[in-house]
Amino acid sequence: MSRRLYLWPILIATLTAVLLTNRLPDFRIDLTEEKLYTLSRGTRNILQQLQQPVTFEFFFSDQATRDMPLLRDYARRVRALLEEYQRASRGKIRLVIIDPEPFSESEDQAVSRGIRGVNLAPGSPQVYFGLAAISDDKTATIPFFTQQRESWLEYDISQLLVQLIRDHPPRLTIYAEPDLLVRGGINPYNQQPQPPWVALENLGKLYDIQWLPKDFQQIPQDTDLLVLIHPKNLQERSLYAIDQFVVSGKKALIFTDPYAELDGPPAFVQPGRDKHSDLNRLFRAWGFEQANHGFVGDARYASRVTVGNRSARHLGLLTLDRSAIGNDVILANLDKLVLSSAGALRPLPDARTRFKPLVQSSPESMLIPTAALDYLFDPGMLYEAFKPGGKRFTLIARVEGNFTSAFKGKLPEGVNTQTHRDHSATDNRLLVVADSDMLANRLWTKLETGPDGDRLVVPFADNGTFLINAIDYLSGHPDLISIRGRGRFGRPFTIVEEMRHQAQQQFQTRTKALQQRLKETETKLAELETKTGKGQKALSEVRHRAIDNYLAERLRIRKELRQLQHQLNREIERLGVHIKLINILGIPLLLTLAALIIRWWPRRHSGQRTT
């Protein structure tokens, strides 16, 4: 009886705890190292700006990916993040999960939304793994989630929301030196096709772009941001248009360069070619300048390059880490920038504007004449006269304040004097980068072929991110800046990666064997066809037997490849189950063991005292 009375308080306490738990508000704790499932402040600000309901249609081929455990694991992480968006939106976002099975209406829906089906393996069905964000008559999509962009996942999703929020994308007006071929084309000097610069090509997906010709005299009035890339030898009227655009209070992003490497052929092909650009006539009126005819060499950030059969460090090719990158919203989450033959920017005494360095060299740097690059076949030669002076040079800067016209009192012929401005009415800001090469593909990205045969952009530096950061900051959408460069969700296990590597080697070996057998069979058939001693009937029988043998061999090898793939997947799944069991049962078992020890230990001592 006493034991029953003893259990009643425990039962009442348990029921009370359950009732209180049900009444508590829903809360979650993110225990990942880099808070991967915690939405950034920028995303939460964007969610607050949603005026209309948004539907997230998450397309994932669940049936077709049963034998793809790694992809399914990534899909679960994407779904978890989408569910976090739904929670944080407070009812403004509705998440719909769709499995687009082959030849179904859901597959037609995926295609109509712009979701792309991908064949991840030869002979496998198409896999859909994308997202459509829909609000009223607007739709924005991620055609396919690639794991190479995993660290950009939150940004990619939030970017869809920004596209839905904006009445129209920011209007960018861009001028780029024509000889850079930033939009791609045939290089007139070697007659080879040159791909477009990915950093600028991607802008068309996010912004409304219009391009200025070489001899432009006006900048469109509806321009939200002016982007100048290597503005070399501009006419007087073009300089005046830039000057008045900035003085009128509109923002600009300017990339100048003391030595633009992609501006035409090298010096040994076309001696004396001018590869230099600056806007010092305007810059000096705005309170700063770019150092003339010199690039920054830096021993600390010098990159290692291959020269013939050996490697050497290039003083002018700078790989900048966080120690060179300032603490500023524009530079949020940038870990590496690569610049080449960059110039130096510096404020002028008594400037009316404020000059803030954003990216600087180390004290182990100096200005090197650009003439040293004309016939530079060995980067090691730059060290011969290299004497760093302990001074840091500014490579990227922000300039703010009241801007004065460089044409004050001396207007070009033919301009409207009634609309001229000598001073800006309010404070303005612009960003200046003393290197245009940083936007070129070779300095920040690798172009690879994706599983569906499309071009895949794989960044190895944050140059492209910086460009988008700068545009978002200057065009009025800084919320996206804090989102980029999140950590990776996946933490691959060494055993799994080793298993995948071994299986891949076996796949390649079997594939080569199949191709070799095919080549041998075709050679044998060709030899048989050239023989004339036997009749056509005998020849036909031999050929049929050879073909039948080849087909049987091909089927056998394909069966082995499928078995190998299934075996790999089973072992990965088995390892995953073991890890889950450890995670799920390990801690409870340890706690249970600890409780038993705590319960047993006092009894042990009491038993010893009794004896």
- pLDDT value of position 209: 96
- Whether 177 has a pLDDT exceeding 50, the answer reads yes
Give the position of tokens 């073009």: 238
Residue-wise pLDDT tens digits, 260-274: 999 988 887 888 899
Sequence spans of domains, the chain: 41-151, 171-408+418-475, 494-528+542-605
123 burial type by CB count under 10 A (0-12 exposed, 13-18 middle, 19+ buried): exposed
DSSP one-letter code for 260: -
Mean pLDDT of the region 461-486: 81
| Residue-averaged pLDDT of the chain | 83
Domain covering 41-151 in this structure, CATH number: 3.40.30
- pLDDT value of position 557: 64
Enumerate residues 6+ apart whose C-beta is below 8 A from 321.
301, 335, 336
- Whether 383 has a pLDDT exceeding 80, the answer reads yes
In angstroms, rounded to a whole number, what is the distance separating the alpha carbons of residues 542 and 416? 89
Model confidence band, residue 496 (pLDDT cutoffs 50, 70, 90): low
**CA within 13 Å, CB half, 573:** 12
DSSP one-letter code for 423: B
φ, ψ dihedrals at 367, nearest 5°: -85, 130
In angstroms, rounded to a whole number, what is the distance separating the alpha carbons of residues 301 and 338? 9
Mean pLDDT of the region 581-586: 65
- pLDDT value of position 186: 86
Nearest to 277 by CA among 217, 311, 231, 342: 231
Tell me how far apart the terminal alpha carbons of the chain are, to the nearest angstrom. Answer: 31
Q: In degrees to the nearest 10, what's the CA dihedral of 59, 63, 65, 69?
A: 110
- Whether 414 has a pLDDT exceeding 60, the answer reads yes
- Whether 508 has a pLDDT exceeding 60, the answer reads no
Enumerate residues 6+ apart whose C-beta is below 8 A from 258.
276, 278, 290, 291, 292, 293, 294, 295, 341, 342, 343, 370, 434
Q: Is it true that 41-151 and 171-408+418-475 share their CATH fold?
A: no
Show the CA angle centred on residue 470, arms to residues 469 and 474, nearest 5°: 120
Looking at domain 171-408+418-475, its CATH class is alpha beta
φ, ψ dihedrals at 176, nearest 5°: -135, 140
From residue 527, give the alpha-carbon distance in Å to each of 515, 538, 541, 551, 560. 18, 14, 15, 19, 30
In angstroms, rounded to a whole number, what is the distance separating the alpha carbons of residues 229 and 173? 11
In angstroms, rounded to a whole number, what is the distance separating the alpha carbons of residues 295 and 305? 18
From residue 58, give the alpha-carbon distance in Å to each of 65, 95, 459, 558. 15, 7, 26, 33
φ, ψ dihedrals at 343, nearest 5°: -90, 180
Mean pLDDT of the region 334-344: 95
